[in-house]
Amino acid sequence: MKVLLINGSARKNGNTFLALSEIAKQLEKNGIKSEIVQIGAKPVRGCIVCGQCKQKGGNRCAFDDDLCNRVNEKMVACDAMIIGSPVYYGQPNGSLLALTQRMFYSGGALYKGKPAAAVAVCRRGGATAALQTMNMPFQMMNMPVVTSQYWNIVYGRDAGEAALDTEGMQTMRTLADNMAWLLKNIHGDHSLPLPERETPQPMNFIRT
C-alpha cells in the first residue's frame, strides 16, 4: 500500500514539507509506503474546461507541461493521497488548487474510493478555511476523508518553525495512524482495533 503526498508549497524544504514528512515517517512505522511530490515554483495551469481529457480518455489533461499528468500517473499505483499547503490570505496556494482541479477533472476515476486528507500550514489564522477548501473536492470524488485528533493544522512561519508545534506534529502522526488503519481495513484485515493514541500534547499560542 502506498500514499501519495503533494507538497503544495513553492518552498521545497519549508514547513509544509516538515508536516508531510512527519506523516510519511509515521506511515512507514505502520508499514505503509509513501512518496512526497513537490509542486515547485513553476507555473501551474488552471483548468479551462476544454473537455479534451474527456474526449481522448486515458485520465490525462490536454496540457502536459506541469505536474498534473505526472500525479495522475502516480495515482495508478497509489491507494490514498494527502495534500498539504501553506495558507495565503486564508486560502491554499493557488497553484495547488489549479493542480488538484485539473487532476480530479481529467483523472477522476483514479481517485474515487481512495482515502484522502488535507493539511494546512499557517503562521496564525485562516487555516480552517484553507482546510475546508482542500477537503471539498474529496467529497465530490467519493474519497473517504481521513481525520485526526484535531483539524489537520500545523503552525509555523519561518523555515523549521513547524517542528516546534508539538501538538501540530502529533496531529500529523495521528493522521498517519488513522490513514494506515483505514487502508489496512480496506485492503484485507477488517478486524484491526483503532490505533493506540499518544498522550495528548496540547499547545497554546500564548506560552508562559
Q: What is the pTM of this model?
A: 0.93
From residue 51, alpha-carbon distances to 3, 17, 71 in Å are 29, 33, 19
Q: What is the domain range of residue 146?
A: 2-186
Q: How many structural domains are present in the chain?
A: 1
Q: In angstroms, how far apart are the furthest CA atoms of the chain?
A: 61
**Is residue 49 included in any domain, yes or no?**
yes
pLDDT in tens, the chain (208 residues): 999 999 999 999 999 999 999 999 999 999 999 999 999 999 999 999 999 999 988 999 999 999 999 999 999 999 999 999 999 999 999 999 999 999 999 999 999 999 999 999 999 999 999 999 999 999 999 999 999 999 999 999 999 999 999 999 999 999 999 999 999 999 987 778 888 889 998 888 776 6
d(CA 170, CA 23): 9
**Is residue 203 included in any domain, yes or no?**
no
The partner residues of 81 in beta bridges, in order of sequence, read 4, 116
CATH code of residue 161: 3.40.50.360
**Is residue 194 included in any domain, yes or no?**
no
**Is residue 99 included in any domain, yes or no?**
yes
